[in-house]
A and B are shown apart, each in its own frame.
Chain A
């Protein structure tokens, strides 16, 4: 399996622009997670889905952030409008329900820079 795939790997944009991050989970995994990582705050959970349905979005910072999962093999995280404080590495992860360890597999991340 190719693992969790994220695109783009790097994104540089200007403040006010819309940013869309993409994720393809591991085939067969039914949980998908979006995280944000910064030096100051560490790794923070933004939202997660089960069988394409959003379960917990309490970590989404504000209305500028939205996430969708139209099917089992694709999810997007959108920021509109973007701000410099959104600069971070955004990780997508997936896992399989029923595994007692709840082990999550992370994608390579998207490094976002908002100028």
Chain B
């Protein structure tokens, strides 16, 4: 079986930095994804980690520790448009992704 945990909600201020954590327990591991989903829209790909360490892409960075079953998404210089749900997903076998329930981020002025 598998278990993917994320906080349900987070609030942060425009211009600030926020870290969204994800812990997982899966029977196999081929990589971890972060997706962004604005309300009423489809999820869109943000990042992929397969090796331990930090991957940086503009204002967004993603970290992975395979031994700890832990990842985080770091959002810098928050903008109002970053208000969305952030989904952690584990690729554990075949080509199927298993998603967490998502973290709803609210960015306030």
Which residues on the B side are within 8 Å of A104 (C-beta)? 45, 97
Q: Are B42 and A91 in contact (CB under 8 A)?
A: yes
By size class, the interface of chain A is 20 to 34
Residues of A within 8 A of B42 (CB): 91, 106-109
Q: Determine whether the beta carbon of B102 is less than 8 Å from that of A33.
A: no
Q: A103-B45, A106-B43 are in contact. Are A50 and B102 (CB under 8 A)?
A: no
- Whether the pair A108, B41 counts as a contact (CB closer than 8 A) is yes
| Contact between chains at B100 and A42 (CB < 8 Å) | yes
Residues from chain B with Cβ under 8 Å of A109 in the complex: 42
Is there an interface contact between B31 and A97, defined as CB atoms closer than 8 Å? no
**Chain B residues with a Cβ closer than 8 Å to the other chain, count:** 21
B91 adjacent to chain A (CB < 8 Å): yes
Which residues of the partner chain B approach A50 to less than 8 Å between Cβ atoms?
Answer: 95
Q: Check if B31 sits within 8 Å of A101, measured CB to CB.
A: yes
Instruction: Report yes or no: A55 in contact with B99, Cβ–Cβ below 8 A.
Output: no
Q: How many Å from the CB of A38 to the closest CB on chain B?
A: 10
**Nearest-CB distance from A107 to chain B (Å)?**
6
In contact, A43 and B102 (Cβ under 8 angstroms):
yes
Instruction: Assess whether A102 is in contact with B97, with CB atoms less than 8 Å apart.
Output: yes
Alpha-carbon gap, A100 to B44, bound state (A): 17
**Assembled-state Cα–Cα distance A102/B50 (Å):** 11
Assembly CA distance A43 to B37 (angstroms): 11
Which of chain B's residues has its CB closest to A106's CB?
B42
Give the residue of A42, A91, A105, A107 whose beta carbon is less than 8 angstroms from that of B101.
A42
Q: Which residues of B contact A45 (CB under 8 A)?
A: 96-99
Nearest Cβ distance between residue B90 and chain A, in whole angstroms? 11
Give the shortest distance, in Å, between A93 (CB) and chain B (any CB).
8
A-B contacts besides A42-B100, A55-B95, 20 pairs, CB < 8 Å? A33-B96, A41-B101, A43-B99, A44-B99, A45-B97, A45-B98, A45-B99, A48-B95, A91-B43, A95-B95, A101-B31, A102-B30, A102-B91, A103-B33, A103-B45, A103-B48, A104-B45, A106-B43, A107-B42, A108-B41
